[in-house]
Structure 1
Amino acid sequence: MAYHRTQRVAEEMKKEISNIIINEIKDPRISGLITITSVDISDDLRHAKVFVSIYGEKEKKMKTIEGLKNATGFIRREVGNRIRLRYTPEIVFKLDESIEHGVNIAKLLKEVGTQDDKGEK
C-alpha cells in the first residue's frame, strides 16, 4: 500500500515542481526547455530525487542545474505549501540525459538505414 502512496506523491510533486519552475522562478540562469522526467521518493517520503532534462548546450545545462540547486529551498517550501504532507521531502536535482541519448541513437539508426538504402540501389 505504501508503494502506491509514494507513486502518487511522486506524480504530484512532479506536477507541482514543473509548475513552480515555469511560473514562479525568475532566475535568469533557469531558461530554455526544461522537463521534469521523473521523481524518485524514498519510502519514508523524506528524500526526493528530481530528474530534469534540459535542452541545449552543456554550459547552459550546467547553469540551469546550478540555478535549480540554488532555488531548492524555495521550491521545497512551495511544494510543502501545495501538497499536504507531514514532512516535505528534501529535494535533490539530477540531470537526466536519457532523452538526448535516445535522439542520438535514433539519428545513428537513421544514418545506418540511409547507408543501407544507398548500397542496395
Structure 2
Amino acid sequence: MAKVFSRSDRVAEQIQRELADLLQFEVKDPRVSMVTVTEVEVSGDMAHAKIYYTAAAGTPELQKGLEKTAGFLRSQLAKRLLLRTVPQLHFNYDASIDHGMHIAKLIDEVLPPGEREQDPEDD
C-alpha cells in the first residue's frame, strides 16, 4: 500500500526545497550565510510554518537576519509555489546537531583509548 502524505507534509517539503535555494542564491543579508534548513513544519491550516535551521555560527545576529528577511522569503515563495496563501515563516534554531556532537564527545571521553580507533565492522 502506498504511503499517505498529508497536504501540509507535501507543502512543507516544497517550502524546504525552495527556502534552501533562496537562502543560498537570493538573500543578500550578510548575517544570513551558510544556513541549512533541516526541517519545515506547516500547520494544518497552512497559516504558519516553523523553519528549523542550523548553521556553523548560530548567533543571535543570524536569527535577527532570518527574521528580517522573512518577508522577502515569503514573497519569493508566493511566486514559486502554487498556493492561495503562503504561510508566515517562523525561524527556530535546530540544536540537535550540536547536541549530537556534544554526546559523541562525551562518549569519546569515556571510551578507553584502544577502543576509539577500533572499527566495529573489523570484528
TM range (shorter): 0.7 to 0.9
1:14 is displaced (CA, Å) by 0.5
Give the conservation status (yes or no) of the 8 Å contact 1:3–1:43.
Answer: no
Gaps of 5+ in 2: 116-123
Which aligned pairs between 1:22-101 and structure 2 lie closer than 5 A? Answer: 22-31=24-33, 33-56=34-57, 61-101=59-99
Deviations 1:48-85 (A, max 9, x none): 010111212x5xx2111111100000000001110110
Q: How far apart are the structure 1 equivalents of 2:67 and 2:48? A: 15
Runs of 4+, deviation exceeding 4 Å: none
Gaps of 5+ in 1: none
Q: How far apart are the structure 2 equivalents of 1:91 and 1:16? A: 13
CA RMSD, Structure 1 to Structure 2 (Å): 1.9
User: What residue in structure 1 maps to residue 121 of structure 2?
Assistant: none
Query: What percentage of residue pairs aligned between the two structures are identical?
Result: 37
Higher helix share: 1
The aligned amino acid for 1:18 is A
TM, length-normalised to structure 1: 0.85
State the aligned residue count.
Answer: 113
Q: Which has the higher contact order (CA 8 A, sep 6+)?
A: 1
